[in-house]
Structure formats: structure tokens, C-alpha cells
Structure 1
Amino acid sequence: MYHDNVISIILGGGQGSRLYPLTESRSKPAVPIAGKYRLVDIPISNCINSEIKRMFVLTQFNSASLNKHIKNTYHFSFFSQAFVDVLAAEQTMSNNTWFQGTADAVRQSMHHFLNHEFEYALILSGDQLYQMDFNKLLDAHRESNAEITIATLPVKEKEATSFGILKTDENNIITSFIEKPDASLLPDWTSQVSDEMKAQGRNHLASMGIYVFNRDLLIKLMSNPDTNDFGKEIIPQSIDKHKTLSYQFEGYWTDIGNIDSFFEANLGLTDEIPQFDLFNNKNRIYTRARMLPTTKISGTTLNKAVIAEGCIINASKIEHSVIGIRSRIGHETTIINTYMMGSDSYQTFDEVTSSSKIPTGIGERCFIKNAIIDKNCRIGNDVRINGGTTTKDTETDTYVVRDGIIVIKKGATIPHGTVI
């Protein structure tokens, strides 16, 4: 086991503009997923399941809700060395700029890491959905005497143009790397993959943005202030000089880069056998323990629905949807292809029944399809929200339309009878 000589560095990502408006008031790692978790719970849970228990989360935008979530969630034994620390970009006497990229974020935080003993730094992204045993990755790194290891995913030709693609020799040592290659170059960029991957047409190795660095090399690379990014600069420049291993991963992995991929990843959890397995004793996903009551459902037809705890549901139909914690849904309402994030707190009975203000949740006789409803929204009665491929991209004070998906902004109020 490596827990004594590994630190994990989880990169919180930039402004998260492609996930806007979900990132309007929170950082990307704090975006709620699967009805009860946050994105950052995924890499942290993968570390805990791999017995790596010293973690830093690097962030610089809207970090308050991320701080709160981590502080309320990850409590380790008083006698343990384990911790999850959030490091926000900080101005110091020697530096007064924001993080300029992934490598710059690590460089600026380096003095915090060096307060700890470690042989290997495991660098992870804060916005990916996957389950991986990092011990196998570290075994491969150590056995090959590599200085850098990159976790790689075999991908198909049509996906390869949006990744950093690499080539390996017969020992899985990386010989060359190209960032987001043009489709015309791809025939020259195939690699050795398993027969199963070949059968699926997945012949190109994509970098997953998951790296292992030996401590001494990381210190050396971070001493060069001219490199700001791992994928664009550090990795391509290191391949010829430092032994760099490709560790092939064949499980489910998705990068939550934009609204479309976020929506798909969440609704994918409603599949009969989801690719991302939340029902797994070995690979648990940890999150805040909230002590919520069980969900209460009355008169509702449910089909392919994932429903978190603490909900009160009287809808007539919920199909292919994820319903988050403390959601309230009124009578005769239909919800299809929707991710409803839920609420941060309950209202009193008087607040719900008061006529002066629309209560939190979804009202009666609504029809909602192809939507993401952020936390704490108030949707009135007789509201129709119907996204689809013909819906034009647009933004108002209360909602944004991206790729045919209607995103109701956090805390928005949608009046009775509204049609979107």
C-alpha cells in the first residue's frame, strides 16, 4: 500500500464557463451530481478507496461552497494522518497572480505539499466521473521505474480529436504526444490496445489528465516558471527527457466538460445497468452524511428514476430522471429526462401552503422535459419547460438554454403558468 508515501493533488479546474450557469455561484468541483453528491466527491472517494488519505483540492473560483462541503464531509480520526485540504489561489509577497493553468496551480501551492513527506504525487482532475484503484496505477509506475505515469483511455477515432493523444512502445513507454490532433493525422497515432478495445474500434490512447510524478522530478519541473499547463506543456516537453509510462484504463470514464456531458452523465445513472456503478461495496462514493428522512411518494408512476432521500413526491409521472435531496413535486406533474438537484433545506408547512410566495420545488400540473433544475428553485403551478434540439441557445435572468437543455438557475423563481 502507498498511503504513507503518496499525496494526492486534485485540480479544481478554471472558471467552469462551459458548465455555466451551474458554476455561476460555485466552483466546478462543488457542482451537485447524482442527486446527493458533489463532483469533488468522486476523486476523493477514489483516493479513500485506494487508501490514499492525504489530499489537497486546488481551486480559485467561488470556493466558499466547496470549502463548506469538504469541511462538513471529510472528518478523519483525530489520531490519523488523513486530511482533505482546500487550497485557494493566494497572493503572496513573491506572487500576486491567479493560477494560470494546471501546472501553475501546482507550482503556486508547492510550499504546502513540501511540508509533507511523500515519494509520489498523484495529480487528479476535479471534474471527471470514474472509479479507479490508484494502487494499480502506482504499482505500474513503480515496477517500470517511470518518472511520470499518465493514465490513458483507449478512444475511438471520432473522439480522439478532442483529447491529448499519445503513442507508446511495446513496454507502454510513451514515445510521442499530440494535443487534440486533426482527424487527418489520426491513422499515424494508433497504439497497442487490448483485443476487447480493438473490437470496439478504440485504437487511440487519450490522456485522462491523471498523472503520477516522482517527488524530485515534480520539484524540478515546477521550478521552471514558464510552463503553466500539464497537458499542453509539461507532458509534451517531458516525454523525451523523462521515462513516461502509459497506464491503460478500460473502465467507464467521462469528463464533465460541458452542460451536455453533465446532463448525459447524470441521466446515465437511471440505466438498468449504469456504467457508473453507485451500488458497489468496494468502490463507495462518499459524501456528506445528512441524516435525512426517507422519501415519500404518492400516486406516481416511476420509470428509470433515481430518487435521493428526503423527498416528498406527488407527481403523476417521473421518467428517465434524477431527483435530488429534499425535492418537493406537486400533484399531476410530469417529469421526463430531467435532473432536479433538490434543496438545501425544508420549508415549514405554513411556508409551503402560503399564497404569497411560490414554495421551493415544483408545483402542480407542470410538464418538465430535457431540463436541469438547479438547487432551491421555485417552480409554480401549470409551468411547461420543454427543451429539445429545436430550442435555441439563450439566457435570461432565471434560465439558460444550452444544446437543447433548459437549465433553471440556482434559486430562480418561475411564476405560475410560465412556458419555456
Structure 2
Amino acid sequence: MRDTLTVILAGGRGSRLEPLTRDRAKPAVPFGGLYRIIDFVLSNCLNSDMRRLLLLTQYKAQSLDRHINVAWRNYFCRELGEFIDVVPPQQRIDDNWYQGTADAVYQNIYAIEREQPEDVVVLAGDHIYKMNYKTMVDFHRKTGSDITVGALRVGRDAAREFGVMQVDLDNQITGFQEKPDDPMPTPDDPDICLASMGIYVFNARFLYEALCADATREDSDHDFGKNIIPGAIADGFKVSAFPFLDENRKRDAYWRDVGTIDAYYEATMDLIDVDPLLNLYDQKWPVRAHQPMLPPPKFVFGSESRGTTRRGQALDSIVCQGAILSGGSVARSIIGPNVRVNSYAHVEDSILFDEVVVGRRSRLKRVIVDKGVQIPPETEIGYDRKADLARGFTVTDSGLVVIARGELIQSQSDQSETLSAEPGL
């Protein structure tokens, strides 16, 4: 794959994931305790022997840039022509931020041309899946396509959030609609549509010409799904669909866009199932991440005092390095590195990011707690929606509570004292 360059789009705001994206880009959001979302597409690249990567960033990129430096630099040898370069907006072409996916690539066209690739693979950095991109590139070259689009079969209702394709018997795309209100189903199943995964392979020369032509159009959104691909089809270029081949090796294909808090929570919590949909233990297609130099997780105390159980334990959960369950219990939860769950505390159906501390006798249920948050002793979160909203927490329609990074949580006993001191109470 030395004649292929991979461009990863990692600059989205991720506004629907706030407050988790308040201080970080969406690809840098932790997932599954140890990983970041970006680790999945980067692992796919490494497992596909694609070792020339440009990572295009834009918003709140410091956390992502730090993660790439710590977790990924050592996998690439510059002396062998391998690299992963983080490329922030440079405004070399104009003074604007990236206006769309195509514009992000266009504004970095000089960096792409300098590598002289035969083909350019364009990927989104905020999806979770396993895929061998080399197989797709081979298909692209064998068919002589100008563009090849990764294709996923989805339900018709879900297809409204995707680009929807129509193909002929040779998998050549004959129609493409971006996020249509009435998606056109496949001929063999009226309830299924063929959706774009946001994975593209371009003939490099075609890509340069298409991007330059699109940049001059004032009526364009400068987006691959809205403009480049439909335009190429209309102009008679060969645009093919590549059916998604899942390296996850399960009955159903696994691909997730964790674009909302609830979707993120559901995808994460699936990992604690006995047989999760996403297999993180597959040595044939490993998902790599930063492995911090931390001691193993520790579970301490196993006693009863005055009828109360004091036991450090975790059931049906994932517990990362450095975590200490010091007399507190965890059930159906993801516990990140360096987390502390103190005596008589109980955490269930929750996700705790790095360095969270849960105070004694606190209770959390269906809560996502961002990095470094301190939960005071004897605090309940996730049991009373009105109380959680009154304390300024984000609460989704499903009742999921999110506590942002840097949140200073007042203990409930302190709150009671404050309220009793106010006039008229």
C-alpha cells in the first residue's frame, strides 16, 4: 500500500455529544475504558498495512494531538516512508475554516500531492468498526473506478441519516441521495437501504480535478456526499459501491456512529455483555490503544460491619488499569484507568472516565462521569431526574446523566445546609 495515501477527517465539532466534546474533539472521546474513538479507524489502517496517514483536525484538537503522540507515533517509521501526521487548518488556500468534508481535503491538496499517491483513501475518524481497507482498494483498482464508496445495509428509517445509494448488478452506483427524507430501498428488500459509510477511495488524479472544480462553485456545500459523489455520477464517471466486509467476525455487521449521548452509551455498554457485538479480544484484528504504565486493578475489603457489606467488587463490568475498588461495588459498568470507588459506594450501569473518584456511600445509576470528576461522599446521581437537572447536570430524554469534566459537585449535605440558610426556607 505504498502508493496509497490515507486522509482521516477528525475535525468535527461533535456537538451532539456535548458535554463530552466540550473540551475535546469527537474522535478523542474515550470509549470502552481504555480506547479513544479514533483508535478504531487507526487500528484498521495499521491492520490493513496502510502506513501513510494524514489526520486532519480542526476543533479542540489538543487532546487528540496528545493522544496521537503518546499512543500512535511509535507504530510508524519515517525512515521507511511511514508516517501519521496531524495536520491542523493552515489556511493555505483561503482564510476560511473547513466548509465541508471535500473542502477539508481540498485545503490540504498540496500535502496530498506531495506524496504522489496513486489512490487516496478518505476516512471519517469518528466511527467504530473493523474493516480491511486494502480489500476495498484492491476492488477499486480491479474495477477501474474513479470513486469507490463503502456501502452498508441499514434499515430504511435509519437510512435518513446517511447517503443512500442505488447500484446496478456490477455494483456501479447509479443514484446517490444525501440524507433523503424518503430513502429508496434495495430491490431485494423494501425495508433495507444501501448506505454510505463515509469511506471513500479516489483515483488521485480524479480527486484533484474534482476538488478544484468544486471549490469554484458558490452553490456547493463542498461535501463529498452532497456534491462530489452525485456530481461524478451525473457526469458519467465510474462510481462503485464496495459492500462492507466486517473483520469483527460476528453474525451481523458492526458499524457505529456514536453521534449522540444515548448512542454512545448504548455502544459502550454493549461491551460488558457476555458475547458483545464488538469483539475487543480478537487477536487476529487487534484494536490498539495507549497502554499507560499503571498497576493492575485492585479490589480491597470484603467484610460486613453492623449489617452493611463493605466489599470491593465488580460484576459484569470492565475495570481498567490503576483502578481501586476500595470497599465499593460496581455492577454493569465501565471503569476507566485510575478510578477510585470508595467504601460502601455503589456504581451501576455507568461509565466512569479516567481518574474519577466516587466518595463513600455515594450511589450512581446510568451516569457518564468525565475525566477527573470528584463525586462527594453520600451523593446520589441518576435516581432523581429533577434533582439532577437542578444541579446543572446534562440529562438526556432517556434519563441518562452526564457530568462534564471540571464539574465541581456540591455534596447533598452541603446543599441542604445552604438551602436551610436561605431566607424563607
TM-score under structure 1 normalisation? 0.87
Q: Deviations over 1:76-125 (max 9, x none)?
A: 33532211111111233x41110011111000011111110211111111
Give the number of the structure whose alpha-carbon radius of gyration is greater: 2
Could you tell me which residue of structure 2 aligns to residue 369 of structure 1?
365
SS at match of 2:114: coil
- Note the residue ranges of structure 2 that are not aligned, 5 or more in a row: 247-252, 301-310, 416-425
Deviation of the 1:387 alpha carbon:
6.0
Note if contact 1:189-1:204 (Cα within 8 Å) is conserved in structure 2: yes
Amino acid at match of 1:77: C
CA distance in 1, matches of 2:335, 2:360: 16
Query: Kindly, what percent of the aligned residue pairs are identical?
Result: 35
Equivalent residue number for residue 386 of structure 1:
382
Question: Is the aligned partner of 1:80 residue 2:80?
Answer: yes
Residue matched to 1:266: 268
Could you say if the C-alpha distance between residues 91 and 79 of structure 1 is closer, same or farther in structure 2, counting changes exceeding 3 Å? closer
Taking the aligned partners of 1:67 and 1:13, their CA distance within structure 2 comes to 11
Matches within 5 A, 1:385-404: 385-386=381-382, 399-403=393-397, 404=399
8 Å Cα contact 2:77-2:83 kept in structure 1: no
Return the offset for 1:46: 0.4
**Structure 1 residue runs of 4 or more that deviate by more than 3 Å after TM superposition:** 390-397
2:292 equivalent to 1:277:
no
- Displacement of 1:151: 0.6
Task: Give the letter aligned to residue 212 of structure 1.
Answer: V
1:414 aligns with 2:409: yes
Q: What is the alpha-carbon distance in structure 1 between the residues aligned to residue 130 and residue 314 of structure 2?
A: 28
2:329, 2:341 within 8 Å by CA — same for their partners in 1? Answer: no
Q: Secondary structure at the match of 1:414?
A: coil
Question: Where does 1:258-337 land on structure 2 (aligned, <5 Å)?
Answer: 258-298=260-300, 299-337=311-349
1:171 aligned partner: 170
Q: 1:78 to 1:157 in 2, by over 3 A?
A: closer
- Who is 1:349 aligned against? none
Secondary structure (helix, strand or coil) at the match of 1:97 reads coil
Residues 1:108 and 2:110 aligned together = no
Is the 1:318–1:336 Cα contact (8 Å) retained in structure 2?
Answer: yes
Q: For residue 202 of structure 2, what is the aligned residue in structure 1?
A: 213
- How many pairs does the alignment contain? 388
- Counterparts of 1:392 and 1:294, CA distance in 2: 36
Per-residue deviation at 1:414?
1.7
Alpha-carbon spacing, 1:180–1:315, altered in 2? closer, same or farther (3 Å): farther
Structure-2 separation of matches of 1:110 and 1:396: 48
Alpha-carbon separation, structure 1, partners of 2:7 and 2:171: 24
Matching residue of 2:224 = 230
**Residue aligned with 2:205, SS:** helix
Q: Return the offset for 1:133.
A: 0.8
For residue 391 of structure 1, report the CA deviation from its aligned partner: 6.3
Change (3 A) 1:280 1:174: same
Find the residue that maps to 2:350 and give its secondary structure: strand
> SS at the partner of 1:288?
coil
SS at match of 2:265: helix
Structure-2-length-normalised TM-score: 0.86
Q: Which amino acid aligns with 1:47?
A: C
Q: What SS does structure 1 have at the residue aligned with 2:22? A: coil
Tell me if the contact between 1:361 and 1:378 (Cα under 8 Å) persists in the aligned partners.
yes
The 3-state SS of whatever aligns with 2:41 is helix
Counterparts of 1:412 and 1:259 in 2: how far apart (Å)?
18
Distance 1:202 1:42 in 2: 29
Give the conservation status (yes or no) of the 8 Å contact 1:45–1:285: yes
Residue type matched to 1:342 in 2?
D
